[in-house]
Amino acid sequence: MDRYFTQIAGAIAGQSGRPLTFIIALALVIVWALTGPMFSYSETWQLVINTGTTIITFLMVFLVQNTQNRDASAMQAKLDELLRSIETARQDFIGIEHLTDSQIEQIRIKLEEDEGPGPESIPSEEAIERLLERRSQTTAE
């Protein structure tokens, strides 16, 4: 079931992002709008587009979420493999995506505290100021 759903979801998600799909959807809306006078802009005429777009939106939410979950899991697996392959990397970070938001925030705060001043480290506020200065210089030129 999972494999079948993944194949279908991947295929639909892949097709839904193509220009041709957008053009087809736009054409359907234009045809619907042009038929308005023929149906006297009735409630049924309006209900057709409302129902159609609601159903498509409802189903696409699940497909997009499935695709994002799969992509995020694949990315985490790749990052975990990179952490395993680098000897100086902290192995403790493998799997932290399963922690709660507050636990991850605590880790982030601890990492910022551990960074400390050094020739290769810049406090985050100073780094942000330098980035903003570079951006303003680039736009001024």
The pLDDT, as a whole number, for residue 141 is: 60
- In 3-state terms, what secondary structure has residue 103? helix
The pLDDT, as a whole number, for residue 140 is: 67
The pLDDT, as a whole number, for residue 117 is: 52
The pLDDT, as a whole number, for residue 48 is: 95
Tens of pLDDT along the chain (141 residues) come to: 888 988 888 888 889 889 999 999 999 999 999 999 999 999 999 999 999 999 999 999 998 898 888 899 999 999 999 989 998 888 888 888 888 888 888 888 887 777 655 445 555 677 667 667 766 776 666
The pLDDT, as a whole number, for residue 98 is: 86
Vertex 105, ends 99 and 111: CA angle to 5°? 110
**Helices 19-34 + 43-85 axis angle, to 10:** 170
CA distance 86 to 109: 23
